[in-house]
Chains A and B, each alone.
Chain A
Amino acid sequence: MRVLLSLLFLCIGLHGASAQDASPAAGKAQVQRIAQDFVGPRYERLHSTMQAQADAWRRFCGAPSQPGVDTLDTAFRDAVLAWSSVNLVRYGPVSEDFRYERIDYWPERRNEVARGLATLLAVQEPVRADGMKARSVAAQGLPVLERLLHEEGAREQLVTGESSGRRCEIGQAVSDNLATIASEIRDGWSALVAQLGTADEAALRQAATRMATDLLTVYQVVGDQKLDGPLGGSAEEARPKAAQYWRSGLSGPSIAASLGAAAELESLVLGPDNEAVRSARDAAEAAAALSGPVMDLVTTNEGGRELLRLRNAVRLARDQASLAVPPALGVSVGFNSLDGD
């Protein structure tokens, strides 16, 4: 393997541009296309779904009802899927001010979301969107809304329960704050796109490197954390609640949206007929076609095998992306981060 890699490096070095290797100018154009055509529209959609969710909470809290909870749930699903289709991007404004973690704190450590929500339920003063930034990152994102909507007994609590008013207040504050964060990211990204237009070669190379790194990271996160985490070693060792969004049943759809985004990004860089792009699409389609919720699949041998096939498809997609995408963008990635020393 080492020899193969050395040969690969050597080939890149000696022959400079094989068919897919980027010249600096082509690399610059690629980075700008990704920023404008791939990321930009996704952040627009993230903002519009987050805003729609905030509006839904405001309407619901005016007159809580059981059908109203269904509307909130649909808005939550839209927001999670919009986020999942752009959560591979960790570069740029989403990495500032802990925005990524404030939207989606996961994996949850030390039961922090539950503790954050308990604090919000217990505080004396009103819970407001503008006070969210000062709170724990675990207490202000999609995981809090998921608990408000999908914890056991949550629907009744929201509509008729003793804490209904406070839960509404929290839902409104959290969803309003998420819409604000999404607008900051959208605006920050527009500014970044403008900067890239006049950036020097080093800055462009860094942007391209971050994009390639983020792409490979999403495969790592989906494979190692979102699939291997709940799978455990066997059906007996499965950890169903290690699946992200297990409460709302959005584990599979969220993974499918992330992998679909990865496939689309690769298609922009490599062209639609590339082998790596086909593998990425296969993985996304396998995730979309899962026969049940991840938390149920992990507890049976048959379901476990289905998830293992998906995980293997994700690994294949990652391996092919790691060989094809960085050279196509004219960069190298993961020198130390994959090193393990």
Chain B
Amino acid sequence: MKIDRRSFILALAASFAVGPVRASREQLYVSSCTDASGASSLAVFSPEGGLLFRTSLPDRGHDIATSPVGGDIAVFARRPGDWTAIISRRTREVRTLIRSPEGRHFYGHGLYSADGRLLYATENHLEQGVGVLGVYDATDGYRRIGEQPTHGVGPHDVAYLPDGKTLLVANGGVRTDPSSGREILNRASMEPSLVVFDAATGSLRHKIEFGPGMRGLSLRHLAVAPDGEAVFACQFEGPADEMPPLVGVLGVDGRTRMLDIPDEHLSLLDNYTGAVALDRSGRLIAATSPRGNRAAFWDRLTGRYLGLSSLPDVCGIAAAPLDGTFVVSSGNAGVRIARAETHDLARVSGSDLDLFMWDNHIRQL
């Protein structure tokens, strides 16, 4: 998706009201959103106080990474995007717009290194049809300084394991090309995998492939627990009358286990999850299905399934400040707080949050 730099600058000039400065203890969240006029922006908000500020984006953003040291927020374009916007928390403006190099495009996810020096972004190597992790130097104007293989096709989400040195990437296995939009070019030969590799050297530590029995299952999103287990959430591209489990856990021993869910609940997820998160304690799992209009919850330690919440077009999800609770967002029903055990949804006080179409991912700021 190409953007027109001139229209972006015009759009920047046309926005935005800036909210009041908030108490520093309030937990803030960040997500991309679209307003009623169709304009895309990055929004910073709190469930208690509503919108803090918005910054104009060139187009729909997808996931967000926040620098652990500086005040930078990186917003990755929705795939197959050609930009990543770096927004300064201090000025609330886009300070750098990274463009994908020739022959690459962004997949919508990425993260900062633990020291904040580097920004990694999942990218498509168009010629070879394989995934790479682009490496950008945050201390040098986000210059692209290299890339590492993701050891698979169609990388999507990427996360650090708790050692802060090893990366986990979900290779969706789906090959696409911007010239044909988001069409899946290899439906018959998808090879999804989870790959653990060294962030500094790119060397492969471990690759978990999902055999032919799981063909059609595309790994997309990740959430890593403090104890080193990682939750992964999938989409199924096969026939609608097949219904594989969609959410699993990668144990510290490198083995995967899919989480149980009753068939009638699984069928409501419509073979699709859009995001996954762990609560503040790291124990409870939530995965959202915007197609099924449901969020599903599990206890990671016991594997117990906890139930479903209903919210239309729900997708964004992140740990809320209390254990067992999540902030969830929707493309058409605003923002809510979900409790995993009771799976009820509470409205948030910032009703101005209802005015926006919230994009797929929320992150804590």
Name A's B-contacting residues (CB within 8 A): 2, 5-6, 8-10, 12-14, 95, 98, 101, 107-110, 112, 136-137, 202, 205-206, 209-210, 213, 224-225, 229, 242, 331-337, 339-341
Contact = CB atoms under 8 A, between A and B. Distances in A.
A136 B333 CA distance: 31
Contacts of B312: 206, 209-210, 213
A336 B272 CA distance: 11
Interface string B230-247: 000001000111110000
A332 B240 contact: no
Contacts of B332: 206, 209, 213, 331-333, 335
26 contacts: A8-B38, A9-B37, A13-B37, A13-B38, A14-B37, A101-B264, A109-B241, A109-B243, A112-B263, A209-B332, A213-B293, A213-B332, A225-B240, A229-B239, A229-B240, A229-B241, A332-B331, A332-B357, A333-B313, A335-B290, A335-B358, A339-B274, A339-B290, A341-B78, A341-B108, A341-B156
Contacts of A14: 37
Nearest to A225: B240
Nearest to A5: B38
A112 B241 CA distance: 11
B357 A109 contact: no
A12 B333 contact: no
Listed residue (B108, B243, B263, B359) with the most chain A CB atoms within 10 angstroms of its CB: B263
Listed residue (A14, A95, A107, A336) with the most chain B CB atoms within 10 angstroms of its CB: A336
Chain B interface category by residue count: 35 or more
A9 B241 contact: no
A10 B37 contact: yes
Given A10-B38, A209-B312, A341 B220 contact: yes
B93 interface: no
A202 B360 CA distance: 21
Nearest to B176: A340
A341 B79 contact: yes
A10 B37 CA distance: 5
Contact of A6 (B38, B220, B315, B331): B38
B354 interface: yes
B21 interface: no
Nearest to A112: B263
B267 interface: yes
B351 A202 contact: yes
Contact of B241 (A242, A332, A337, A340): A242
A331 B354 CA distance: 12
A251 B9 CA distance: 53
Given A9-B38, A101-B264, A112-B263, A335 B357 contact: yes
B357 to A, nearest CB: 4
B131 interface: no
Contact of A13 (B36, B156, B357): B36
A335 B293 CA distance: 12
Nearest to A202: B354
B34 interface: yes
A26 B182 CA distance: 37
Given A107-B241, A333-B332, A337-B290, A13 B39 contact: yes
A224 B239 CA distance: 11
Contacts of B34: 335
Contacts of A229: 239-241
Nearest to A208: B332
Task: State the 10 A-B residue pairs at the shortest beta-carbon distance, nearest first.
Answer: A9-B38, A13-B37, A335-B331, A336-B290, A336-B315, A107-B241, A337-B290, A336-B331, A335-B357, A209-B332
Contacts of A213: 293, 312-313, 332
A341 B315 CA distance: 10
A335 to B, nearest CB: 3
Contact of B331 (A9, A95, A337): A337
Nearest to B243: A109
B334 interface: yes
A144 to B, nearest CB: 15
Given A107-B240, A202-B334, A209-B333, A12 B357 contact: no
Given A9-B38, A13-B39, A341-B220, A336 B330 contact: yes
Contacts of A205: 354
B240 A336 contact: no
B300 interface: no
Given A10-B37, A109-B263, A341-B108, A334 B310 contact: no
Given A109-B241, A109-B267, A336-B290, A12 B331 contact: no
Nearest to A3: B4
Given A335-B357, A341-B62, 14 more contacts: A10-B38, A13-B37, A109-B241, A109-B242, A137-B264, A224-B240, A229-B239, A242-B241, A333-B332, A336-B331, A337-B293, A337-B313, A341-B108, A341-B360
Listed residue (A13, A14, A339) with the most chain B CB atoms within 10 angstroms of its CB: A339
